[in-house]
Amino acid sequence: MFAAARSANVAIEIDGDPSRQDLDYDLARRGVDAGCLFALDSDAHSTGELRYAETAIAHARLAGVPPDRIVNCWPTERLIEWLQSRASPGSRRTV
């Protein structure tokens, strides 16, 4: 899975919601070793769940995910360039 994600240049999600942690820091470490990008999120469905972002950040730190591989830590310009590189050929999608 991680090799395919790396090859496709997609980000692996680290979800902070305690009931939705499909990828914990042990598995995330495998993604780090494979050279994957990551996206961290709270998966909040209410304002009280926004704090779950802290759990995602903790898992990323424990896994040793470098900040330069976390797409939502990137400067806006870099994020936009990456998103545009993901657009299918011939598409006129703008970000």
Residues 51-72 have pLDDT tens digits of 999 999 999 999 999 999 999 9
Confidence at residue 1, expressed as pLDDT on a 0 to 100 scale: 92
Confidence at residue 21, expressed as pLDDT on a 0 to 100 scale: 77
- Cβ atoms of 40 and 9 closer than 8 Å: no
Does 89 have pLDDT greater than 90?
Answer: no
CB neighbourhood size of 54 (10 A):
12
Does 24 have pLDDT greater than 90?
Answer: no
- Please state, in angstroms and as integers, the Cα–Cα distance from residue 33 to each residue in 30, 40, 44, 60, 72, following that order: 5, 17, 28, 13, 20
How large a percentage of the chain has pLDDT more than 70?
92
Does 46 have pLDDT greater than 80?
Answer: yes
- Please state, in angstroms and as integers, the Cα–Cα distance from residue 6 to each residue in 14, 35, 43, 44, following that order: 15, 6, 23, 26
